[in-house]
Amino acid sequence: MSKRGTTQQLSRDGSFFGDGSNELSENDKPRQATAAQLVKRKLKPLKGRPRVAPYDLARDAQKWVAKIRRENGGVSREVEAGMKRDYPEAWEVLQSVRRKLGSAAKTLATDLYSKDTQYLYELIQNADDNQYTRAEANAEEPYICFSLYPDQLVIDCNEDGFTAENVKAICGIGQSTKTAPQGCVGEKGIGFKSVFKIAQRVHIQSGFYSFSFEHTRDSDDEGLGMVTPMTEPFKDLPKDVITRITLTLLSSVDLRTLVDELSNVPDTLLLFVKKLRSILVNIYPETGDSTQLVYSCPQDPARGFKTVEKQSRSNDGEWIVEKRHFRVTRRTIKGLPHDTSRKQTEADVLLAFPVNETGDEAILQGQHVFAYSPIRPVGFNFLIQSDFITQAGREVVVHSPRNKALLSGVAKTFRDAVLEFCAHKKLQYQWMSSSTVSELGSSTSPTSLTDFRPISRDLTQR
């Protein structure tokens, strides 16, 4: 994947308390072109032609970014230099306000830094929440691709592109694009900050938007760099890439750790994503062999179980394919108690049981609990996934009536799975081994989540 040159330069908004000519109200959000309009204007990706945003739409989009930056206490680089030179006292006042505004972002970032791989799951989750109408119209499967270079991690996606609401959310603190339909993670404004675990600069080019953030944990911006976007010139992208996020890595990042994280993405993520069909990884070291990996979950409902695949190769050599198989049981839990962090009153519970390649023999291996990203094993030999409410770093499931109702739903879903197994001539004798009820109930391991022990009690009562 090559690094492309600039094809269109847009002027940055350098106004400071200006005449208002560049101000946009909430009702003046950038126009969002529909798929039909894009086709009519022939803006779909065409072979051999670079995609560049139309100037008028891109100009409005960049004004929107500049407005958000000002609302969050930021100024353009040009204005910053001018204020420091000509109005040092005003600059000190502005910095004081910025420090107060940035304290919340700094606190949030500290919480998110506690889990090394959180950035990876947040990016995958956000990609799964996106819309892919253009890709579907072109008969393309939704994907996210990570390409690691010695100084950058580039993330490409063929989603439809950021909307004005997406941009505002990703520049916010404690904001989310989460809406009523259940099953969407949508934490663009919250979890996305975890990329600063490994990055000092983030450039996002998506649709008509091109902007960046800059922040390091030892900087004096008090976290405002994570929420004050700077408009950036557009770059040419590959024909099928609508959104590109470029992370300029911190000098302190251990590349070997990043390689290990990207090479070991939990393939079981693909069992419960809604839209993504593949996760691609390219690793281009400064010296040595390059590596390609493809994680996928081929759709084959007739088999009665799901297969997740991991394909890997070095230097364009032969592909090595690893497969794992799961029987999946899903139940929608309705009437969930109200919680301020969720608008939905229902959520899916998904259980996945490892089986052999023919689907008729259980494989007893410890599995993780997921809340759209892996939390940790809790003693069960089957995977548990639901929309559990977690702390900011997504490492701890909080105590709440909603989570308690979901835990009860896990037991009900397990009962559904048992009934399915009872109809199978071999699996009907193996389901009890999967429960490991006694082991969980007596576990004192610090890696066990005590919140999940009530499941074992429910299982023994059903």
Annotated domain spans of the chain? 6-301, 326-461
User: How does pLDDT run across 262-297, given as a tens digit for each residue?
Assistant: 999 888 889 988 899 999 999 999 888 899 999 999
- What is the pLDDT at residue 340? 84
- What is the pLDDT at residue 147? 97
C-alpha span between 407 and 385 (Å, rounded): 10
* 216 pLDDT above the threshold of 90: no
Q: Which class would CATH give 6-301?
A: alpha beta
Tell me which of 111-120, 156-165, 358-367 is least confident: 111-120
C-alpha span between 57 and 63 (Å, rounded): 10
In a 3-state reduction of DSSP, which class is residue 89?
A: helix
| Rounded mean pLDDT, 53-61 | 75
User: How does pLDDT run across 71-126, given as a tens digit for each residue?
Assistant: 877 777 788 888 888 888 888 888 777 776 666 666 666 665 556 678 898 899 89
In a 3-state reduction of DSSP, which class is residue 211?
A: strand
CB 2 within 8 Å of CB 156: no
Quickly list DSSP for 296-319: E----GGGSSEEEEEEEEETT---
Q: Which residues of 160-174 are buried (b: 16+ CB within 10 A; e: fewer)?
A: bbbbbebbbbbbbbe
* 332 pLDDT above the threshold of 90: yes
* 18 pLDDT above the threshold of 50: no
Residues 6 or more apart in contact with residue 294 via CB below 8 angstroms: 278, 279, 280, 281, 309, 310, 311, 312
Q: Where residue 384 falls among pLDDT bands split at 50, 70, 90? A: very high
| Rounded mean pLDDT, 3-19 | 33
Name which residue leads in pLDDT, 93 or 353: 353
* 357 pLDDT above the threshold of 60: yes
Q: Could you give the residue ranges of the DSSP H alpha helices within 252-349?
A: 255-263
- What is the pLDDT at residue 46? 34
C-alpha span between 148 and 283 (Å, rounded): 5
Name which residue leads in pLDDT, 128 or 439: 128
* 148 pLDDT above the threshold of 60: yes
C-alpha span between 58 and 39 (Å, rounded): 17
- What is the pLDDT at residue 343? 83
183: left (phi over 0), alpha (psi -120 to 50) or beta: left
* 226 pLDDT above the threshold of 70: yes
Tell me phi and psi for residue 446, to 5 degrees. -65, -15
Tell me phi and psi for residue 429, to 5 degrees. -100, 0
- What is the pLDDT at residue 50? 41
Tell me which of 244-248, 340-344, 345-349, 440-444 is least confident: 440-444
Tell me which of 2-11, 120-129, 157-166 is least confident: 2-11
Percent of the chain with pLDDT over 90: 35
Q: Which helix (H) or strand (E) holds 418?
A: helix 401-422
The CB density around residue 245, as the number of other CB atoms within 10 Å, is 22
What is the DSSP pairing of strand 383-385 with strand 368-370? parallel
The CB density around residue 387, as the number of other CB atoms within 10 Å, is 23
The CB density around residue 149, as the number of other CB atoms within 10 Å, is 17
- What is the pLDDT at residue 462? 52
Query: Would the pTM count as exceeding 0.95?
Result: no
| Rounded mean pLDDT, 60-73 | 84
Tell me which of 9-23, 54-68, 129-143, 392-406 is least confident: 9-23
C-alpha span between 52 and 207 (Å, rounded): 9
Percent of the chain with pLDDT over 70: 71
Residues 6 or more apart in contact with residue 280 via CB below 8 angstroms: 143, 144, 145, 146, 292, 293, 294, 295
- What is the pLDDT at residue 11? 33
